[in-house]
């Protein structure tokens, strides 16, 4: 029975690590243990995803607007780039479609686990124009019928209106306005409103009917991104870090869409609603188009080129009379996954911070961690304080487990002698072992249940620490200057290894010599992984280990067990 208890504990521990390892592989673009990597496709081979039917005979928004632009403009008109800066972002807008094509986050540096050595001290670049890393936000108009004249879209070169491009000291708002030439009797005026200290940009679309007949166009909002996974430059990423498009509606709720499913034409998500938003999600950061008005809309995902994918939201506008203007206010969020700020922007937007299947436990744990940080002012000490609180909450369960293991340690010499003496009589040996357990009131599985009960809580906390953008560039003490990066001097992993071995010494030694050797070997093998973990995670495990050792030593002392 003691062998069964030990095997169950190690089995659960090993399974957890295997699942985490598989998640890390997928986060870093490596093949999954359980499934092959997504194929990189081309536009010609792609099929439309869910919701691809409708206007433009089911063609993707980007493809439709490109075709319309090519038909209406035989020559390519050169565009210009416009650089805009605030206290938190440096943005590049292209006059072609007034699209946001580059975005640097000035308060986030690429010196964490996602950075290559050449990126040290550079700002995180979320949107990019680089050929292999295209990621941008577009919007424009589509005619309701494919036979109607082409309308201003994200291929139309617009004119920048006069005005400042830099947020000045003492200024809380910066507005940048673009206006298109007339096309199909329509002009589109697009205004970006940047706010101090805010990653949420208000984007105002004014549809001006300059023609002589009413029209009811469609406004599309889309995010186009390369299909590479976000975490690079490290052996490990986050097990819960999803990279790809997401769609949200009040009815269908939050739906993630894998790039591989778009590639295969098997993308599944809500197709139509009168509410909802679209997003592109990656580890720590996200972008999203938000429209609060109750307008009928379609949601589409599509492959747009070689390793290039899009998610779009197509809004059906009401009839616009000649000489009038219809305004569609939208919001473009592009920044860190700060959970509570996202929740305040739109229903369900905080779900882009993916905690995996233990979100029901992870969310309250992050809330408590955030409150502790507010009191302490240091994320490292907040982690330590949270683990102390969890150990206190589970003190009774842990005490029961350690007492059971202490009693097992006390009777182990008798069990070892018994196994040696009756090794050729297994049935009699089992009966004698059960008799000893009854006499000493030892439950061989008594140390297992408390560990199983606590495991979901500690795995949830594990994911909280991996998913929290607040850990990026957050210092603890002395040499630990970034809790999301590995310990540069491996001090914490070494302490982790030593504490794990000390715990092994405090546990009952298996009577079987082979199992005894395995008990010492397995902690050493698994401890190697912690040399590459983010420092915040190792700090969590070290604190948990040290508190467990203290509690186990006190209980063993109470039971009179000597080592």
How far is 519 from 68, CA to CA, in rounded Å? 68
Q: What is the pLDDT of residue 230?
A: 55
Q: What is the pLDDT of residue 228?
A: 84
Higher-pLDDT residue of 156 and 28 is 156
Q: What is the pLDDT of residue 40?
A: 36
Conformational region of residue 177, where left means phi above 0, alpha means psi within -120 to 50, and beta covers everything else: beta
Q: What is the pLDDT of residue 85?
A: 97
The residues that bridge with 188 in the sheet, in sequence order, are 207
Query: Got the DSSP string for 33-54?
Result: SSSPPPPP--GGG----TT--S
Query: For the chain, what percent of residues have pLDDT higher than 70?
Result: 72
How far is 509 from 506, CA to CA, in rounded Å? 9
Q: Is it the case that residue 520 has pLDDT exceeding 90?
A: no
Q: Which domains does the chain have, with CATH numbers?
A: 101-230+241-346 (2.70.98.90), 369-406+455-558 (no CATH)
Q: Which of the four pLDDT bands, split at 50, 70 and 90, describes residue 59?
A: very low
β strands within 143-184, DSSP E: 159-160, 173-179
Q: Of 226, 244, 221, which Cα lies nearest the Cα of 304?
A: 226
The residues that bridge with 109 in the sheet, in sequence order, are 123
The 3-class SS string of 288-354 reads EEECCCCCCEEEEEEEEECCEEEEEEEEECCCECCCCEEEEEEEEEEEECCHHHHHHHCCCHHHHCC
Q: Is it the case that residue 73 has pLDDT exceeding 80?
A: no
Q: Is it the case that residue 121 has pLDDT exceeding 60?
A: no
Burial category of 162 from C-beta neighbours within 10 Å (exposed 0-12, middle 13-18, buried 19 and up): exposed
pLDDT, tens digit (0-9, with 9 covering 90-100), for 289-336: 999 989 999 999 999 998 999 999 999 999 999 999 999 999 999 999
Q: Of 386, 442, 373, 378, which Cα lies nearest the Cα of 410?
A: 442
Q: Is it the case that residue 559 has pLDDT exceeding 70?
A: no
Q: Which of the four pLDDT bands, split at 50, 70 and 90, describes residue 544?
A: confident
Q: Of 385, 344, 395, which Cα lies nearest the Cα of 365?
A: 385
Q: What is the pLDDT of residue 1?
A: 41
Query: For the chain, what percent of residues have pLDDT higher than 90?
Result: 51
Q: What is the pLDDT of residue 357?
A: 81
State how far Cα 45 lies from the chain centre: 29
Q: Which of the four pLDDT bands, split at 50, 70 and 90, describes residue 3?
A: very low
Burial category of 514 from C-beta neighbours within 10 Å (exposed 0-12, middle 13-18, buried 19 and up): exposed
Q: What pTM was computed for the model?
A: 0.79
- Which string of b and e fits 370-398 if b means at least 16 CB within 10 Å? bebbeeeebbbbbbbbbbeebbeebeeeb
How far is 480 from 408, CA to CA, in rounded Å? 39
How far is 543 from 124, CA to CA, in rounded Å? 31
Q: Which range is least confidently modeled, 59-63, 264-268, 482-486?
A: 59-63
Q: What is the mean pLDDT of residues 162-168?
A: 96
């Amino acid at each position: 029975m003691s062998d069964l208890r030990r095997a169950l504990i190690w089995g659960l521990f090993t399974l957890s690590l295997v699942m985490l390892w598989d998640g890390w592989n997928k986060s870093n673009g490596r093949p999954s243990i359980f499934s092959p990597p997504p194929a990189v496709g081309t536009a010609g081979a792609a099929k439309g995803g869910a919701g691809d039917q409708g206007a433009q005979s089911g063609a993707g928004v980007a493809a439709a607007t490109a075709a319309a632009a090519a038909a209406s403009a035989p020559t390519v008109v050169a565009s210009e780039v416009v650089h805009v800066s605030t206290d938190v972002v440096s943005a590049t807008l292209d006059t072609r479609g007034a699209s946001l094509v580059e975005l640097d986050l000035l308060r986030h540096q690429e010196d964490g686990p996602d950075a290559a050595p050449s990126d040290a001290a550079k700002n995180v670049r979320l949107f990019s124009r680089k050929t292999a890393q295209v990621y941008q936000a577009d919007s424009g108009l589509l005619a309701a019928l494919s036979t109607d004249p082409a309308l201003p879209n994200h291929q139309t070169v617009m004119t920048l209106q006069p005005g400042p491009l830099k947020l000045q000291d003492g200024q809380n708002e910066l507005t940048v306005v673009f206006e298109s030439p007339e096309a199909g009797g329509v002009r589109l005026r697009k205004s970006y409103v940047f706010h101090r200290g805010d990653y949420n940009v208000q984007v105002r679309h004014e549809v001006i009917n300059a023609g002589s007949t009413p029209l009811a166009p469609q406004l599309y909002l889309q995010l186009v991104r390369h299909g590479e996974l976000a975490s690079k430059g490290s052996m490990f990423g986050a097990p819960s870090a999803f990279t790809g498009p997401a769609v949200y509606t009040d009815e269908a709720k939050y739906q993630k869409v894998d790039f591989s499913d778009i590639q295969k034409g098997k993308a599944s998500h809500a197709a139509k609603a009168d509410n909802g938003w679209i997003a592109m999600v990656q580890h720590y950061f996200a972008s999203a188009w938000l429209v609060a008005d109750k307008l009928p809309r379609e949601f589409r995902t599509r492959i747009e080129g070689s390793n290039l994918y899009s998610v779009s939201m197509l809004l059906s506008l009401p009839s616009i009379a000649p000489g009038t203007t219809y305004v569609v206010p939208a919001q473009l969020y592009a920044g860190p996954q700060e959970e509570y700020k996202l929740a305040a922007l739109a229903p369900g937007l905080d779900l882009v911070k993916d905690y995996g299947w233990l979100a029901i436990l992870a969310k309250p744990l992050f809330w408590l961690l955030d409150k502790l940080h507010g009191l302490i002012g240091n994320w490292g000490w907040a982690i330590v304080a949270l683990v102390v609180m969890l150990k206190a909450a589970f003190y009774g369960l842990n005490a029961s487990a350690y007492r059971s293991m202490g009693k097992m340690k006390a009777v182990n010499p008798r069990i070892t002698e018994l196994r040696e003496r009756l090794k050729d009589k297994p049935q009699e040996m089992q009966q004698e072992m059960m008799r000893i357990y009854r006499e000493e009131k030892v439950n061989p599985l008594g140390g297992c249940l408390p560990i199983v009960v606590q495991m979901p809580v500690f795995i949830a906390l594990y994911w909280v620490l991996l998913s929290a953008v607040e850990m990026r560039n957050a210092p603890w003490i002395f040499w630990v200057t970034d809790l999301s990066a590995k310990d540069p001097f491996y001090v914490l992993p070494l302490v982790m290894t030593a504490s794990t071995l000390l715990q092994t010494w405090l546990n009952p030694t298996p009577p079987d010599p082979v199992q005894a050797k395995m008990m010492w070997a397995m902690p050493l093998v698994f401890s190697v992984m912690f040399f590459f973990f983010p420092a915040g995670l190792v700090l969590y495990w070290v604190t948990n280990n040290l508190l467990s050792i203290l509690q186990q030593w006190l209980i063993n002392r109470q039971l009179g067990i000597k080592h």
